[in-house]
Structure 1
Amino acid sequence: MTGTRRVILDVDTGNDDAVALMIAALHPAIDLVGCTTAAGNLTIDQTTDNTLRVLDHVGCSDVPVYRGLAKPFAPRPFPFTELEPIHEPTLPLAEPRSRARTTPAVEWLIETLRTTTERITLVPVAPLTNIAAALTVAPEIRDAVDEIVIMGGGHAFGNRTVSAEFNIYYDPVAADVVLQAGFERLVLIPLDATLQALVSDEQIRELDALGTPGGTGAAAVLAGYVSGGVAGAPSVRPVHDALCIAYLLDPDVVRLTRYHVAVDTTGYQSFGRTIVDVRSQGGDDPNAWFATSADAARFYDILRSTLRDDHEQ
């Protein structure tokens, strides 16, 4: 990849978000303009604290962090039963020295996208609460976004329910607002692809052996990450959110197909499901590039090469 890409990363930082954040902060081809935090994997206080821990650990405390919304964009019509968390409430990294900025995340997103003179890539790897709120106040900001890359959804299966992926299920109205907003290029990285972006215990040890802040930090957060996404394979972990950053660096890490995608916001058993019109039966024009698979070897190569000392690409 040539040139530097300006990126805003929206995170609910638990374990896999932390790895995405490290790659985005460390890779020389990415100019990380700022991070906004959302509630999702954890509370807004926990996700903000973890985000600061990660940036401090890899020596990128200069990247500004903005605290986002603490609750979903829209009330849920059904009770949301909390499951046993798979992310550590506090990442195994040193307590942060830096602090979040005082400007609220939604306000900062709107102001930044309204005033930028260079288009920005938006990468939400959390529930889409902040992005939907910003679009509702200022829909024109979509024109400042050259590409939005979202970790969320699934066609073949879910992980929060039988049919719904967690990020979408947590705030499905927000997700549908973003999907239907009319972005010039919207890429959806769903479970269908992320459950192929696997890192093994042996590879985690390899990252730790790099001895760099990125390598040791990624190994520390992944070692404690227990994902329910890969049945019968306890020695591998899907690093869902990091696949979005890997895609920015090497688009061939995923296979994309253009579909119309919407979110079920009313059904009981299908609440939060991403509805992917794979046969073009609905009559709606495609609105998303949908990742149907991922190249695990290519993904790990991106991860390892970014987290080592030598970042020459």
Structure 2
Amino acid sequence: MQRNRIVIDCDPGIDDTFALILCIKKLDVAGIVAVGGNTGLQFTSRNARYVTELTGRTDISVYAGYDQPILGNAVRAEYVHGVGGLGDLDIPEQKKQLEKEHGVDFLIRTFMNENDVSLVAIGPLTNVAQALLKEPELKKRIPEILIMGGAAFCGNQSPVAEFNIAADPEAAKIVMESGIPIRMFGLNATRQNWMGEEQVRELRAVGNKVG
């Protein structure tokens, strides 16, 4: 069965790390682009590479995008994810290297030259917005963007803002006004997917590298 082909733009982070593991197993991942968000780019790009090693998929290229939002200072969630993005987990030095091409250039190259690839953006939308600013024709080439962000009710970064949107609101505005079809999965959806102590114990009991 043919699997959906996607590019993932993310800021792993504990939540995005689990998302990457699931996507790599279930979908055809054309590439991963890291963005500064939950923690700085040096850690989000490292964590993305770490996931490809954990899952045995070092053939998936990982690119570094932007660390800072379009305007203003970076908003981080290190109080949730830890400075390194994965709590107190001791991450070994990664053998897999980042691609030399900038993540934004990879986004442009991929979507300008390939068909039937969807964009999954589960971090701040900085890279996506910068790609649209650099190549305006890109909005005609991306069939849809699936976004983890926003909230139908109360936010988690402030009473009126969810973290991924609040981390770069200017980028979010650019993406939302691009005309590209968008499917958003906000806090009203993501908060239905909690992981408690029982689930953690089940993962540990698996006994493999991911567990």
Is the TM-score greater than 0.5? yes
- Which residue of structure 1 aligns with residue 177 of structure 2? 180
SS at match of 1:86: helix
- Which residue of structure 2 aligns with residue 7 of structure 1? 6
Letter in structure 1 aligned against 2:9: D
Letter in structure 1 aligned against 2:79: P
**Structure 1 spans left out of the alignment, 5+ residues:** 217-313
Q: 1:41 aligns with which of 28, 38, 50?
A: 38
- Which residue of structure 2 aligns with residue 190 of structure 1? 186
- Which residue of structure 1 aligns with residue 122 of structure 2? 125
- Which residue of structure 2 aligns with residue 51 of structure 1? 48
Letter in structure 1 aligned against 2:196: S
Q: 1: CA distance between counterparts of 2:57 and 2:69?
A: 29
Q: 1: CA distance between counterparts of 2:124 and 2:110?
A: 20
What's the % identity of the aligned pairs? 34
Q: 2: CA distance between counterparts of 1:212 and 1:3?
A: 27
Query: Taking structure 1 as the reference length, what is the TM-score of the superposition?
Result: 0.63
Which aligned runs of 4 or more in structure 1 are off by greater than 4 angstroms?
Answer: 79-84
- Which residue of structure 1 aligns with residue 107 of structure 2? 109
- Which residue of structure 2 aligns with residue 203 of structure 1? 199
Q: 2: CA distance between counterparts of 1:69 and 1:213?
A: 30
1:204: Cα distance to partner? Answer: 2.0
Q: Which has the larger radius of gyration?
A: 1
Q: Is the 8 A contact 1:36 1:105 kept in 2?
A: yes
Q: What is the RMSD computed on CA atoms of the aligned residues? A: 1.8
Residues 84 and 69 (structure 1 numbering): CA distance in 2 closer, same or farther, change over 3 Å? closer
Residues 122 and 88 (structure 1 numbering): CA distance in 2 closer, same or farther, change over 3 Å? same
Residues 67 and 84 (structure 1 numbering): CA distance in 2 closer, same or farther, change over 3 Å? closer
1:3: Cα distance to partner? Answer: 2.3
Q: 1: CA distance between counterparts of 2:3 and 2:155?
A: 34
- Which residues of 2 match residues 155-234 of structure 1 at below 5 A? 155-183=152-180, 185-214=181-210, 216=211
1:60: Cα distance to partner? Answer: 1.0
- Which residue of structure 2 aligns with residue 70 of structure 1? 67
**Residues 183-223 of structure 1: CA distance to partner in whole angstroms, max 9, x if unpaired?**
1x310011111111122211222122223333x1xxxxxxx
SS at match of 1:213: coil
Letter in structure 1 aligned against 2:14: N
Q: 1: CA distance between counterparts of 2:120 and 2:176?
A: 13
Q: Is the 8 A contact 1:122 1:149 kept in 2?
A: yes
Q: Is the 8 A contact 2:37 2:77 kept in 1?
A: no
**Structure 2 spans left out of the alignment, 5+ residues:** none
SS at match of 1:54: helix
Q: Is the 8 A contact 2:125 2:165 kept in 1?
A: yes
Count of residue pairs the alignment pairs up: 207
SS at match of 1:95: coil
